[in-house]
Structure 1
Amino acid sequence: MATHSGRVAVVLPPREGFATGAVGAIGLQVAALASPDDVIVGPPLAGPSLLPGHEYRPVRPGLWPPGGRGLRYAATVTRVVTDIAPAVVEVHNRPDIAHHVARGRPGQKMLLVLHNDPQGMRGADTPALRAALLSRMAVACVSGWVRQRFAEGLPADAAQWIGLSPNGMNTPAAVLPQSARGRVVLFAGRVVADKGADLFVDACERLGPAHPGWRFVMIGADRFRKDAPATPFLNALAPRARAAGVEMAGYRPHADVLDAMAQAAIVVVPSRWPEPFGLTALEAMAAGAALVAAPMGGLPEVVGDGGILCAPEPVAGLAQAIGTLMDDVAARAALGGRGRARAARFSVEHARACRAAQRLAALRGGGG
């Protein structure tokens, strides 16, 4: 993947895990796309690293400078980066940290990789701040939707300077055919309102009586870790899920989630919020499951014809889309096949090539 000499310091957000038992989507992608020359910079590990033997520099903020924890994290990152002296600093999802490092290291070549809507981020929430980022560093987005959100309010020619660096994953060489899969409808992700966890439960409540023998399973918690708190949303949803016959499995390691997708007949991604990319949908398609996903944010770009795009509200429409697949194994098989073909477009190799190109762009023009 490396297309230049020198190391790359890859900076994680302050709450992003990088351990096998505590990791989110950003950490998973950093690990998947890592180059041998990468030095991962992030919070102290909460368990075994995702990349054993790979250099990891923990960030332990002190009491200086005065201010919030985010500022102290950024200041400590800058000191760690100075010690590493990398060719490129690649900051993930934190424009404010990127600003801080750029100010502290004049001339440092930098790449900011955005995984979420920049208009909701400190340091990128106004056109002036986004323009300042573009003037100081290379910027890459995981989807066209995120790219469009970054470009809003900027001059028309600014879009050409905003790169694309999509997520990627390895598509298994073979998967279970639909005829061999369990009759399971699966939700996998954070159990929060934005992800439509309650809409999934409501849809299952409608579907259960007409589909005996089917199971409805929800994997996830409020956070991507085994000690995730029991939030008011979760506490309110649990009795509704039990009444609807939905099994709430709680947090499971990422490998277990992929295994569940590989055996489920249908995976549902009923997000209310505009998903910036939709990694869960990509994983479901790669696993050969029949996918039902919301047409929100970057999901249509990822899903294409590899899944059914269905608005999750009103829930009657969501239930109908799921139920149609439950009743038709041939339709599930056809959709699963299209999903695998679609997922192949987002291979790790392609994602690494895109990231390498963005790093090279940073080296040639960013941070100057």
Structure 2
Amino acid sequence: MKIAIVLPPGYTFCAVEPNSIETVIRTLSVGSTDEIRVFCETGAKARDDIPVTEIDPGGNRLVRRKRMIGAVKAFAPDYVEFHQHAISASAIAGALKAIPNSLYRHNYVKKPKHLIDRWRNVWRNRSFDSFIFVSEAAKANFLGNYPQYAGRTYAVANPIDASLWPGDPLAKGKTIIFSGRAAPEKGLAPLCDALTEVLPRHPDWKAVLVLNRFGVHGDWAQAQIDKLPATQLTVLKDQPLDAVKAQMKSAAVAVVPSIWEEPFGLVALEAHAAGCAVVSSGTGGLREASSDHALYVAEVTGSALSEALERLIGDDELRVTLAQSGQAFVVDVHTREHRAIQLHQVRMGIARV
């Protein structure tokens, strides 16, 4: 089957600095027996073996969309998969009506604020044959607001290639790691509140904050960072994926303190695969990502996170057991092969090939 994967405006499908959506697409595409081509904008620092058609981002949005439509038509796919951005995807899908398609959402769809908002979304969704979500939680949330799509909405959890995130739970440094956007909804503030209590009590431990998109919330994020003891802190901003892997490999504990409803939580999978014991807020799809293999906090506060961290720091056996069970869980359940087969079946059903 010929599959066109259309990325949102601004996405370049870079091989060395991918965002989380591009990482999921790449992981699911490697080794596929289908003929997959990714359609994205120019500007990537490097490419890999997945075929890409680059679209010039110059000009107004109508000109850019016309280029994208022409490129996809030239590829003549059996199925088109639009990722994430419903507004631009709807306009392109409307010009490719003869080709079966889906809108692949990597986040929760916001509840409509009023009837006009609902009508606008339903009108936009008319361009899509089906919808794919990255967790059962995100799917259920969508159908709770739009039950009319129940017969054509699917959930395929994010995968991970655990071999790319090696880490031995028995060979870890005394490090607590956070990896994510430097944004309030990711729980950075309560985590920093917790670390201001925990780190001074344990001078042999340190924290590593790997912060993406620091420029967007930099002033706010820096105010949180400034609470922490500098001698026990490393802050890494906008790092390439290999640098994130290296930090995860050496960390003993990873904290995923998201306040908002996480669509799934790829960073939790990465932490598990790297052999970290995981402290999680459990919001949204995070419990699907970690199941019984994370230490969950009842609320995302500094005191709750501090208590969880103290528990893991003070109990070596619990920390290692949690790390080992989480690592085994993602290798067994969240493998690329398993999720790729699941997604292939969904795609085949949509395309009726």
**TM-score over 0.5 for the alignment?**
yes
Question: What is the rounded CA distance, in whole Å, between the counterparts of 2:170 and 2:145 in structure 1?
Answer: 50
CA deviation digits over 1:134-162, x for unaligned, max 9? Answer: 7741211110111012212334x742421
8 Å Cα contact 1:116-1:276 kept in structure 2? yes
1:352-367 to structure 2, matched below 5 A, reads 352-364=340-352
CA deviation digits over 1:295-342, x for unaligned, max 9? Answer: 211101111111111145321011100110011110011101221132
2:78 pairs with 1:87: yes
**1:233 corresponds to:** 220
Question: What is the rounded CA distance, in whole Å, between the counterparts of 1:23 and 1:108 in structure 2?
Answer: 28
Q: What secondary structure is seen at the aligned counterpart in 1 of 2:349?
A: helix
**2:146 corresponds to:** 154
**2:154 corresponds to:** 163
Matched-pair identity in % = 26
Decide whether aligned partners of structure 1 residues 206 and 144 sit closer, same or farther in structure 2, where only a CA change above 3 A counts: same
Question: What is the rounded CA distance, in whole Å, between the counterparts of 1:346 and 1:190 in structure 2?
Answer: 23
Q: CA deviation at 1:172?
A: 3.5
What are structure 2's unaligned runs of at least 5 residues? none
Decide whether aligned partners of structure 1 residues 319 and 73 sit closer, same or farther in structure 2, where only a CA change above 3 A counts: farther
* Structure 1, 276-285 or 9-18: larger mean CA deviation: 9-18
Decide whether aligned partners of structure 1 residues 331 and 57 sit closer, same or farther in structure 2, where only a CA change above 3 A counts: same
Alpha carbon RMSD of aligned pairs, Å? 2.6
1:55-74 to structure 2, matched below 5 A, reads 55-64=51-60, 69=61, 72-74=63-65
**1:270 corresponds to:** 257
Please give the TM-score of this superposition, normalised by the length of structure 1: 0.86
Amino acid corresponding to residue 145 of structure 2 in structure 1: G
Amino acid corresponding to residue 354 of structure 1 in structure 2: Q
1:296-315 to structure 2, matched below 5 A, reads 296-311=283-298, 313-315=300-302
Please give the TM-score of this superposition, normalised by the length of structure 2: 0.89
Question: What is the rounded CA distance, in whole Å, between the counterparts of 2:341 and 2:155 in structure 1?
Answer: 11
1:136-215 to structure 2, matched below 5 A, reads 136-155=128-147, 158-172=149-163, 176-215=167-206
1:292 to 261, 279, 300: 279
What are structure 1's unaligned runs of at least 5 residues? none
Amino acid corresponding to residue 110 of structure 1 in structure 2: N
8 Å Cα contact 1:204-1:244 kept in structure 2? no
Q: How many residues align?
A: 346
Question: What is the rounded CA distance, in whole Å, between the counterparts of 2:281 and 2:79 in structure 1?
Answer: 36
Amino acid corresponding to residue 248 of structure 2 in structure 1: M
Question: What is the rounded CA distance, in whole Å, between the counterparts of 2:15 and 2:228 in structure 1?
Answer: 28
CA deviation digits over 1:205-225, x for unaligned, max 9? Answer: 1101211200111112326xx
Amino acid corresponding to residue 290 of structure 1 in structure 2: A
Question: What is the rounded CA distance, in whole Å, between the counterparts of 2:17 and 2:272 in structure 1?
Answer: 24
Amino acid corresponding to residue 28 of structure 1 in structure 2: T
Question: What is the rounded CA distance, in whole Å, between the counterparts of 1:195 and 1:230 in structure 2?
Answer: 12
